[in-house]
Amino acid sequence: MPKFAANLSTLFTELSFLDRFAAARENGFDAVEFLFPYACEPEWITGRLARYNLELVLHNLPPGDWAAGDRGMACDPRRIGEFQDSVELALDYAEELGVKQLHCMAGKLPPHVPRERAHATYVTNLRFAAAALKEKGIALLIEPINDRDMPGYFLTGSRQAAAVIAECGVDNLFLQFDIYHMQRMEGDLAHSLRELLPLIRHIQLADVPGRHEPGTGEINYPYLFRLLDELGYDGWIGCEYNPRAGTLEGLGWRDAAKAWTGGTA
């Protein structure tokens, strides 16, 4: 039976961010993830994690100016110093929050920057970040994101990500496989999961179309959950979806997942 972590950036959004931790526990989640913690003091979050006995499984490095359209900066040769500063900030939070893996957003291909130069910058920055994280026992993750939801994003394919990981040549860089994004970009999900499982450290889910909860779209989640059990995947699956009709109203899929896999709570 897969283990599900509530993504507090997309679930329980009718509540303030800090109140979502209690909601996650009250609704049966043992773990949480979110995009960014940087608007909060670390102790505000650690207090909620301890109070509600929740594991934090993932958050992202700072993305730059999100409101201005930044979606990471790791591939931008003009922002290497800023990227290195962002790694330091992320590590400060990660150590206090006790998280053991961080996601580095690649960013959009900068205007007037050749793709080859962006790629070289991306590899260099990933090696820098991986080395800094390794000192603290933290894994670094990269995630391909579909270019229809995020036009211009640099990392869009699972094989592209695998090639980058191989080129970086470090032992704490892994793949974050988002089922929603890879269905939109590639399809053939079962084959990808089988092929890439040795590189996969974290999985996220949502259905297509709409990015809603499993069971609302075209993805055969009963089959994929059984496959992940068959393959022996023992990591967390982050529930990074937009509830179609409210978080609580949409949580029934988790009970269905027990029947799909023959698992127990």
Q: Which token pair is 240? A: 């990074």
How many angstroms separate the CA atoms of 44 and 8, rounded? 15
How many angstroms separate the CA atoms of 216 and 72, rounded? 30
Residue 121 amino acid letter? T
For residue 265, give Cα distances in angstroms to 128, 196, 254, 257, 258. 40, 27, 9, 10, 7
Cβ-contact 88, 54 below 8 angstroms: no
Cβ-contact 121, 80 below 8 angstroms: yes
Q: Which token pair is 178? A: 């988002």
Cβ-contact 184, 206 below 8 angstroms: no
Structural domains of the chain in order of their starting residue, each with its CATH number: 3-261 (3.20.20.150)
Cβ-contact 132, 81 below 8 angstroms: no
Q: Which of 41, 82, 143, 186 is catalytic?
A: 143
Residue 224 amino acid letter? L
pLDDT (0 to 100) of residue 15: 98
pLDDT (0 to 100) of residue 265: 40
- CB neighbourhood size of 193 (10 A): 20
pLDDT (0 to 100) of residue 264: 46
How many angstroms separate the CA atoms of 3 and 21, rounded? 17
Closest alpha carbon to 60 in 204, 167, 224, 171? 204
Closest alpha carbon to 237 in 263, 39, 218? 263
pLDDT (0 to 100) of residue 93: 98
User: Is 240 a residue of the active site?
Assistant: yes
Going by their DSSP bridges, the two strands 173-178 and 139-142 should be labelled as parallel
How many angstroms separate the CA atoms of 177 and 141, rounded? 9
Q: Which of 43, 96, 186, 240 is catalytic?
A: 240
Going by their DSSP bridges, the two strands 55-60 and 101-103 should be labelled as parallel
User: Is 195 a residue of the active site?
Assistant: no
Provide the residue-wise pLDDT of the chain in tens; the chain has 265 residues: 889 999 999 999 999 999 999 999 999 999 999 999 999 999 999 999 999 999 999 999 999 999 999 999 999 999 999 999 999 999 999 999 999 999 999 999 999 999 999 999 999 999 999 999 999 999 999 999 999 999 999 999 999 999 999 999 999 999 999 999 999 999 999 999 999 999 999 999 999 999 999 999 999 999 999 999 999 999 999 999 999 999 999 999 998 887 777 764 4
Q: Which token pair is 101? A: 């893996």
